[in-house]
């Protein structure tokens, strides 16, 4: 029987506002040119990635996880805006030039860190930028309060670069806009800086964009990592494996800090590659077809994991197609923040991952490269793809044929026609590329791009 004192205590407790759950920290970890098959949780037996395997084992792994583009800069532009980058003309890679105010992620676009900063988050960037080198595109002007990294698209792993060097592999390392010397192996240094950022901000909600350039070429690894793989005879593959191991250790350092500071349960972590592995870094995309710069599965389907121990299931897979554009909307929903962007293409994945809805996040996903040279659309298990402006469209059932070996366009012409028409309608509503691609157009036009 409840006495008067108990009754008054219960009444007082009921009158108090409900305790609001802590807004999660958000860590977005992006690998560069990572092969689909080159992590332990993706089935690799030759490359050991215990830390990323731990992340996948305690989170949700997307078996049909995609990026919105098959190469670096456009993929990252879509990821950080939640919009198909084709909407604002960021469809090609660029020559990274600090004197070029036109080539970079348009300043008309609002990026994820800016939205989270408005919502009270600390925002930090560590790693590779590749979204414009002119001061108007600088991370510090796009919503990041702190940065450590470089503005180019690639980097030498042993040399920090020198001011004025136009080779993007030697672009200077910066801290908040000031050039700094760096003596550590670059992947290890980025792990060090990401770890420090987490420790500095562990007491309040933060967003960390941790963007590797590993295992992008050049193939360079320290001897201690090379010695982990004495059984790999191919020197390129051995260097690549060592670079992936160094990246895994850097990720592990951050994961350990999340645990040791007591904020692991309250941290939403994403991990994915910006595109599939290319031919020049000895990566493997098996069993997928082709790789970077193509719209076959090897170019756009990537290792993709999300973990939030306080809100998402552990050790599960999610089989519906999801795309990196979803990171934007999912992060804002988790943070209780609104978006000022228009026409957001990503969706909030939380209801899907938590089992509140069984419907797929997307009815269709679209891709386009080089202004329409490459085209693709996925609807359920079906994918229509075309590589070449005048090439015939191909049709695949990815549930039965993830390697895209059996073209069904002739046997299912109505599906091929329907999906091709859907792509043309979508593409017609996108913008034209704002600049030429520094590789594709050089080869197509037979002359260097500026």
Can you identify the CATH homologous superfamily of domain 25-353?
Answer: Alkaline Phosphatase, subunit A (3.40.720.10)
- pLDDT score at 434: 97
| Distance from C-alpha of 245 to C-alpha of 401, rounded to nearest angstrom | 31
Active-site residue, 90 included? no
Write out the two tokens for 225.
């990592």
pLDDT of 117-133, one tens digit each?
Answer: 999 999 999 999 999 99
pTM recorded for the entire structure: 0.93
- pLDDT score at 360: 98
- pLDDT score at 15: 38
Active-site residue, 130 included? yes
On whether the CB atoms of residues 354 and 268 are closer than 8 A, the answer is: no
Check whether domain 365-445 has CATH 3.30.1120.10, yes or no? yes
Count Cβ atoms below 10 Å from residue 441 Cβ, excluding itself. Answer: 18
3 state SS for the chain: CCCHHHHHHHHHHHHCCCCCCCCCEEEEEEECCCCCCCCHHHCCCCCCCHHHHHHHHCCEEECCEECCCCCHHHHHHHHHHCCCHHHHCCCCCCCCCCCCCCCCCCCCCCCHHHHHHHCCCEEEEEEECCCCCCHHHCHHHCCCCEEEEECCCCCCCCCCCCCCCCCHHHCCCEECCEECCCCCCHHHHHHHHHHHHHHHHCCCCEEEEEECCCCCCCCCCCHHHHCCCCCCCCHHHHHHHHHHHHHHHHHHHHHHHHHHCCCHHHEEEEEEECCCCCHHHCCCCCCCCCCCCCCCHHHHECCEEEECCCCCCCCEEECCCEECCHHHHHHHHHHCCCCCCCCCCCCCCHHHHCCCCCCCCCCCEEEEECCCCEEEEEECCEEEEEECCCCCCEEEECCCCCCCCCCCCCCCHHHHHHHHHHHHHHHHCCCCCCCCCCCHHHHHHCCCCC
- Which of 69, 86, 90, 130 does the annotation list as catalytic? 130
On whether the CB atoms of residues 382 and 409 are closer than 8 A, the answer is: no
pLDDT tens for each residue of the chain, 450 residues long: 444 444 333 333 333 333 345 799 999 999 999 999 999 999 999 999 999 999 999 999 999 999 999 999 999 999 999 999 999 999 999 888 889 999 999 999 999 999 999 999 999 999 999 999 999 999 999 999 999 999 999 999 998 765 555 555 667 899 999 999 999 999 999 999 999 999 999 999 999 999 999 999 999 999 999 999 999 999 999 999 999 999 999 999 999 999 999 999 999 999 999 999 999 999 999 999 999 999 999 999 999 999 999 899 999 999 999 999 999 999 999 999 988 767 999 999 999 999 999 999 999 999 999 999 999 999 999 999 999 999 999 999 999 999 999 999 999 999 999 999 999 999 999 999 999 997 887 666 665 544
- pLDDT score at 232: 98
- pLDDT score at 445: 60
- pLDDT score at 11: 39
Domain ranges of the chain: 25-353, 365-445
- Which of 51, 69, 72, 362 does the annotation list as catalytic? 72
């Amino acid at each position: 029987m409840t006495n008067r004192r108990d009754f008054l205590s219960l009444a007082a407790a009921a009158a108090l506002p409900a305790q609001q759950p802590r807004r999660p920290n958000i860590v977005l970890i992006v690998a560069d040119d990572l092969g689909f098959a080159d992590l332990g949780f993706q089935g690799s037996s030759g490359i050991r990635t215990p830390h990323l395997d731990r992340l996948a084992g305690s989170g949700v792994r997307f078996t049909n996880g995609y990026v919105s583009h098959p190469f670096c800069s456009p993929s990252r532009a879509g990821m950080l805006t939640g919009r198909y980058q084709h909407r604002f003309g960021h469809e090609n890679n660029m020559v990274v030039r600090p004197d070029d105010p036109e080539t970079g992620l348009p300043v008309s676009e609002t990026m994820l860190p800016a939205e989270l900063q408005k919502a009270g988050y600390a925002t930090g960037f560590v790693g590779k930028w590749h979204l414009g080198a002119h001061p108007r595109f600088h991370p510090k002007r796009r919503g990041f309060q702190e940065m450590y990294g470089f503005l180019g698209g690639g980097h030498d792993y042993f040399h920090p670069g020198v001011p004025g060097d136009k080779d993007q592999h030697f672009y200077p390392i910066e801290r908040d806009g000031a050039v700094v010397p760096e003596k550590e192996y670059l992947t290890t240094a980025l792990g060090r800086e990401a770890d420090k950022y987490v420790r500095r901000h562990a007491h309040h909600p933060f967003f960390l964009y941790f963007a590797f350039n590993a295992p992008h070429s050049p193939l360079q690894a320290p001897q201690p990592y090379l010695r982990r793989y004495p059984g790999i005879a191919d020197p390129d593959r051995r260097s690549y494996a060592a670079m992936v191991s160094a990246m895994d250790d850097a990720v592990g350092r951050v994961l350990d800090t999340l645990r040791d500071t007591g904020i692991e349960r309250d941290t939403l972590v994403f991990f994915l590659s910006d595109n599939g592995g290319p031919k020049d870094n000895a990566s493997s995309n098996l069993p997928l077809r082709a790789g970077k710069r193509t719209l076959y599965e090897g170019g756009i389907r990537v290792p993709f994991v999300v973990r939030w121990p306080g809100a998402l299931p552990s050790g599960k897979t999610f089989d519906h197609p999801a795309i990196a554009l979803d990171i934007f909307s999912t992060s804002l929903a988790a943070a209780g923040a609104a978006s000022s962007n228009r026409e957001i293409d990503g969706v909030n994945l939380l209801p899907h991952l938590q089992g509140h809805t069984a419907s797929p996040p997307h009815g269709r996903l679209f891709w386009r490269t080089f202004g329409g040279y490459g085209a693709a659309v996925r609807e359920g298990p079906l994918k229509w793809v075309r590589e070449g402006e005048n090439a015939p469209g191909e049709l695949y059932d990815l549930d039965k044929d993830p390697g895209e070996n059996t073209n069904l366009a002739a046997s299912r012409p109505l599906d091929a026609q329907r999906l091709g028409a859907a792509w043309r309608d979508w593409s017609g509503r996108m913008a034209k590329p704002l600049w030429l691609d520094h590789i594709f157009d050089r080869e197509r036009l037979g002359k260097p791009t500026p």
